[in-house]
Amino acid sequence: MTSDAQLLAASVLFACGLAMYARNRQATPLPPGPPRMPLLGNLLQMPQDNAWLKYMEWGQTYGDIVYLKALTREMLVINSAEAAYEILDKSAGLTSDRPQNVMISLIGWGTNIGHLHYGDEWRLARRAFHQEFNPGAVPSHYPAVVPCINKLLVQFLREPNNFMEHIRQCVSAMSINICYGFDAESKNGQDLMEATEGAIHCLEEATLPGSQLVFLFPPLRFLPSWLSAASSTFSRLAARSNAFVKVMRDLPFNIVKQQIANGTAPPSWMRSLLDRATSTEDEVRFKGVASQFFAAASDTTLAGMRALMLELVRYPEVQRRAQAEIDAVVGPERLPNFGDRPSLPYLDAVIKETLRMHPPLPIGLPHSPVQDMIYNGYLIPKGVTILPNIWAMCYDEHTFGDPNVFRPERFLEGDLRNWHSIAFGFGRRVCVGRYLAEAILWQALASILATFDIKKTTKDGKEVDVPGTYGGILVLRADDFECTIVPRSASAVDLIEGARTED
């Protein structure tokens, strides 16, 4: 056979294979979803806020996976833990990528490990996280956690009405201490927190409808601002966000690097990262890795602690049972410590139930498959944006029976012991800081309940109701509420003062 004939035969075979692939792909139906309009798809049906509730409603109509299309963007919402396990855990090798998001890149968050594409750069960043925050390494951070929580107890004692601000300061201090080792109350610490809060706010703005148009239809970014409101919106947002992100990354990095040069750097994750760096490329990578952890830890841990305080106020019977467990195991002569954790299962269950009822990320960070997949007879197209609806999974009546009831003992029963882990994500994209986050929440809750009673505020002889409302765009945070915080006894006051003196 001549070379021309061979080429022709190969071309015919390739064309036939391509045709068969296209025919098979078309023969596999897409998952069900709400009816789509020509060109616009589901654009006009997309929720403007509390998207997790609308996605959950669609799930009740169309099933545990729901297909949506808005302009050029295909999306798949996963509403059940079973489907998430099959698609994101068991098939993690195919679904660990992130969808292309122009807006995230433009606002300076594109190199965040949470948004990196699945590949070598992500693996290097992930390895750095795992070395520092795997279960065996987490205890090395206890010395940075305990003094901050002991200080929180003192602040609760002296100024209980300002408890929300005290919690914010506590989380900030822990995060800065672990990541960078310098004082959160210094000017540098305050500047870092201001920049981080600004960067997080910009990230949330990037998910609002005006900015999301750029995500749904990327060519909009090329339009001049005077011609497109969406283009003008994202241009201003990108400029503001990049300024915050630059400070968030550079300020603490430069401080620690200078301290190392002077021989004055205290222990911190940034110091250990720089000790391992062998190139400028390593330093740039590690600078980003540390800032990403700091931002995520500050925001989600704060959300978790606010949620815990809220539930302590709303469910006094849960508080009393947890205190009885602490009293029986720890006694009145010392504060709980991490070594007590295995002996306090109900306290662990309170944290798990809080994370279930109030997952900090009600919609998990998106995944994207690197090739077409089939799930339960439906096509999951390559590149589709997969949105894990963690809220729907946490409020699944088939799993929990009474999902709207705060009942920690459910996690002491049957197969639910580790079910709360879905709040931290799935597959190879699961939150790398989950073990540290759980440890912080545990130590805070144990210390607070050992020393304080958290009660509803009384006005005119009547208890003030605590509605338990939440706000937020990406991270769900309990709205501000009032409560009364009083020490449980005189000996509890002595414990608080003594622990602070020892620090």
Known binding-site residues for heme equal 431
DSSP string computed for 81-123: HHHHIIIIITTHHHH-B----HHHHHTT-TTSTTTS-SSHHHH
378 contacts 288 by C-beta, under 8 angstroms: no
How does DSSP classify residue 32? P
Cα–Cα distance measured from residue 378 to residue 396, given in angstroms and rounded to the nearest whole number: 22
Beta-ladder partners of 97: 368
In this structure, what are the phi and psi dihedrals at residue 157, rounded to the nearest 5 degrees? -70, -40
What is the radius of gyration, based on Cα positions, of the chain? Answer: 25
Torsion angle of the four alpha carbons 163, 168, 174, 178, in this order, in degrees rounded to the nearest 10: 180
**Composition of the chain by helix, strand, coil, percent to 5:** 60, 10, 30
- The binding site consists of 431
Name the pairing type of β-strands 470-471 and 477-478.
antiparallel
Whether the Cβ atoms of residue 392 and residue 362 lie closer than 8 Å to each other: no
User: How many helices (DSSP H) and strands (DSSP E) are in the chain?
Assistant: 19, 11
